[in-house]
Structure 1
């Protein structure tokens, strides 16, 4: 039986890891704090619009030393924690272990592949609105959950089919992408577009789309990201900005992005990996990114303050 290890048991890791464990597969959850204690005592509870369930995984621990070698590792931390997570899991790898980072952002697979053997890393993303409701409890409150993944060289390999078997047995929608880079950048464009402006305006996705001025800022943000993607030779279609705007229009009116919520609540966020990444790559590639630069510059002082407070705890 495949052994799946989940690094980070928040909204994403808790839901998908919980589903895999609930299907009778061998799953180890690596978590910490009161959340871990609750899982160890009472199991992992998932409240879902697709049906609630509770599961006791094979193991839940904070210590990597207690984790057996893994066949599949899902890294479900925040994007700024990816490098640390990749270093942490080195002892869990055997020669055929597959590592799948599932963060929002465009360069997570590259970060993991800079630390672990590139041949063992695949790319992926997920579509879900979920969060930790309280210790030991995951709330899935929006989107039909979907996981999209694929080989970085775009091949359909036997091992990618094995990963699909794990997800199929778990019973959630999953798709092998023919070009995972395009899929990752498409989601990144959506999430980076709504997150920064949402944090800046304190408005919901519906409110931003409804307002003429902020809707145009959303469009310009996405257009800048598109230009950076093209410069990086990612084969995103030339209709992608319109697709993203349509996707934004279809979101629940009161929806907000997790990064937006983090910034508003004074927590460290993925700002650097979203708008900050586009600003940095834009400068490197000679592409102007005025809206992303404005958004990033306005939010950066709050981000620095949140990180200083977090580091001092």
Structure 2
């Protein structure tokens, strides 16, 4: 199958120095490693494909890792750091603890890259490429990814607890967390479409099934058939909290636009997903992407690159870690 490719312009900062003089600084470059590590794309793609062949859930896990890294103080690979040298790992934050996965995939890719081109490719760039390849290998678009990120020298467990969106938050709160990072309301809807793949633990949505808002009743926005199915998967007992349910029960492992169709049918798994139907602007975008998969692929590529450029370190800032888990 030929990849669906969407090209984007580099993300640049335009500074007006003195009229009519304009200085343009491009932070990232699509050709950044073309000479220093020419086999980079092949090595990353092989590592992601190998991981997916063993565990199809890994596509969603890698994409989620990238998002959880970028949304906390920028795309600097801070989520990959373990507790060490004064670092309090973001892995232990509530949104990541016993949830974030795929670290060993990044470690394996990094080890292979260190053999091919030592101390050259940042962990943050590896994570960006791995998430891009995860989308493509799951059936989504191929998104050209600008590179040149450097790795941060710190982590913020407090930032992870505060800044990562929660499935329990109302739409206004979720939107505020996105827009605080320079993302738009449209980006919220588009990037939420990543929930076309992956799973969620029952405790993240179980209140919708039995005691929505303390009412003692299910969430009325859930379709009856979907509700009954979820109540079977997640019975009203503590032992079911860690059971898994697919975010998209129709095409669970395929990256497509069925997620949006599910929302229209009252079959959004997380409350934060179904909440997109409570606002006129977001619900109209949901309808649009449910009807036009090509538009979703196009816009997802744009929003993914936009997200991957949040707060990046370039030039002499940060470092190129030899191990993604430790500072040099």
Fold-level similarity (TM above 0.5): no
- Greater length-normalized contact order (CA 8 Å, ≥ 6 residues apart): 2
**Which structure has more strand as a fraction of its residues?**
1
Q: TM-score, normalised by structure 1?
A: 0.29
